[in-house]
Amino acid sequence: MTQLQETSPRLAGRVSALGNEEDFDVVIFGAGINGAGLFRDLCAQGLKCLIVDKGDFGSGTSAAPSRLIHGGLKYLETGEFGLVAQSTLERNLLLKNAPHYVTPLPTLIPIFSWFNGITAALRTLFGSTSAPRSRGAVLVKIGLALYDFYGSRDRVMPRHRLVGRGRALKEMPVLTKSIVAAGTYYDAKISHPERLVLELIEDGLAASNTSAATNYTTLTSASNGLLTFQPQTGGAFSVRPKLVVNGAGPWIDHVNAALGAPSKMIGGTKGSHILLKNDELVRSLAGRMVYFEADDGRICLVFDYLGRALVGSTDTKADNPDTVRCEQDEVDYFLASVRTLMPGVKVERDQIVYAYSGIRPLPTADGTAAGLISRDHSAPVTEPNEARPFAIISLIGGKWTTFRGFAEEVADAVLQRLGRSRTVSTRSMPIGGGRGFPADTERRLEWLTEASAASGIDLQRIDTLLSRYGTQALPVALHQGAWSDADRLPDSHDYSLSEIDYIVRHEFVEHLADVVMRRTALAVTGSLTIRDLQVIAPVVAGACGWSSERTDAEIAETAAQLRARNLMHL
């Protein structure tokens, strides 16, 4: 057992707390956003659940989103009105339940004609498999009006507006002069998606002290209702579930095969993004996202993400989530698209500080254009048989915004199968550091003043921690270890060693990459350097009991991954 497992106050959520052949109501494969959301919901109903991931929590597709929490304006074209209604509602609920990470995002649509696209949009609405192009002002106006209508439930943001070319260029002078108008509406963005996944799991463990969560754990056998797992550290363990949920995303078919229920449910598409260190572009955006058509008709976006310009996304069919990465032709496509949109802004390859890519776990849809494959979700059931006494529910499709609603639907189905009933709704349930988050400037100052007095850390620093962790900033600030808050990383000065030590000791860290890629925004914002890695690694090693050889290997492996797959220049 590692030192981390011996000292972690969340021992009940670790593998080391599990007994031999322990019974569980539900075992969930895959700790991405859908699996984590379901875990929290089921734990809140008093069920005994185990969630398992072969990698880190939130490290697969859930670590490669657009970082938008959006209602799905694009889905109006394909007639998925129910999905838009659910997405806009869930967006509004997340703005209330996770205000520490989810914030409003004013969005501008540059428009290049008045009447184009109406006929093509009607064809798409009635089943055409080709995507419409050149959406004109009339079509955009209709779409935004519908979007406001569907987003009226629990509304927290303004309605749309549409302005002519002169007003649009006055408000955003860097836009190409070829526009004829621009529409503005509101969606939302999420600052720390991987941390939200972790917080859902932590909330689940807090709600059910008999439940457990484990990362870096693989299924080694499934026989006669007994599932045997091997964690990366520690001994193997076996459990008997009453029911299994497969939330493994693009790996769903692989997991079903390992469970003795072969399937062909997933036909994913690849989405890539890049982040640019371009202060001029970020200033020009002025807190807005630009949601625009590239020359080939595909929808692209660019917005300010933690001080970097995030550009995305591609949408091409792909099926290997283990090797997916942002390729050079995708980089060229992004850069060319932004240059066309904003010809006065210098956008260059050497401004890229990070890139990432993931496979969307969409349903199989042969012959359909990638952009038109439904983003809606489903949960098909594979019933038990003689060799496998438990049913398997597979979580197909879905998207970040709708995870709570999807989890609620599946949780109700699980409860019905187990003869249980719902005891609490998650509709207004705060998530993690969103619990007790100060709702306005006055309350924020009160919270900061009290936290500063309790921790001895100045207001400005506490404010940074509050933005980074929500109300969990207080235990981070109060953490007592070998370092103080004044001990900072050599290049990423706004992160302290005390903060890193807290993360390692409390947040299921197994590898150096967990800290820099998912528990913090060090990698994605491009602030991380090799010197930072060399300082962070001993902090992790001290908490996890690593040897010097293991520590050196972790630095080398993390640096190699960031350079090769994420295009970082450490």
191-229: per-residue pLDDT in tens?
Answer: 999 999 999 999 999 999 999 999 999 999 999 999 999
Backbone φ and ψ of 338, nearest 5°:
-70, -40
User: Is pLDDT above 70 for 119?
Assistant: no
515-529: per-residue pLDDT in tens?
Answer: 999 999 999 999 999
Are 214 and 125 in the same domain?
no
pLDDT at 19: 63
Q: What is the pTM of this model?
A: 0.92
Angstrom CA distances, 386 to 27, 193, 225, 259, 380, stand at 19, 40, 10, 13, 20
The answer to the question of residue 90 being in a domain is no
User: Is pLDDT above 80 for 190?
Assistant: yes
pLDDT at 3: 28
The answer to the question of residue 341 being in a domain is yes
CATH number, residue 502:
1.10.8.870
User: Is pLDDT above 70 for 117?
Assistant: no
User: Is pLDDT above 70 for 360?
Assistant: yes
DSSP one-letter string for 181-234: EEEEEEEEEES-HHHHHHHHHHHHHHH-TT-EEESSEEEEEEETTEEEEEESSS
Q: What is the Cα–Cα distance from 256 to 220, expressed in whole angstroms?
A: 13
Are 51 and 199 in the same domain?
yes
The answer to the question of residue 347 being in a domain is yes
pLDDT at 114: 84
Choose the weakest-confidence range: 164-168, 364-368, 483-487: 364-368
Are 550 and 490 in the same domain?
yes
Q: Which domain holds residue 13?
A: 3-61+194-266+375-417
Q: What is the Cα–Cα distance from 161 to 568, expressed in whole angstroms?
A: 39
Domain end, chosen from 417, 449, 479, is at: 417
Averaged pLDDT for residues 458-469: 97
Q: What is the Cα–Cα distance from 90 to 341, expressed in whole angstroms?
A: 31
The answer to the question of residue 86 being in a domain is no
Given its phi and psi angles, is residue 367 left (phi above 0), alpha (psi -120 to 50 degrees) or beta?
left
Are 233 and 322 in the same domain?
no
User: Is pLDDT above 60 for 469?
Assistant: yes
Averaged pLDDT for residues 278-282: 97
Strongest mean pLDDT among 263-267, 373-377, 494-498: 494-498
The answer to the question of residue 10 being in a domain is yes
The answer to the question of residue 310 being in a domain is yes
User: Is pLDDT above 60 for 371?
Assistant: no
283-306: per-residue pLDDT in tens?
Answer: 999 999 999 988 777 889 999 999
pLDDT at 77: 74
Burial class (CB in 10 A: 0-12, 13-18, 19+), 126: exposed
Nearest residue to 33 (alpha-carbon basis) of 356, 400, 408: 400
Are 348 and 276 in the same domain?
yes
Provide the β-strand partners of residue 303: 289, 310
- In this prediction, residue 364 has a pLDDT band, given cuts at 50, 70 and 90, of confident
pLDDT at 299: 86
Domain count, the chain: 3
pLDDT at 11: 38
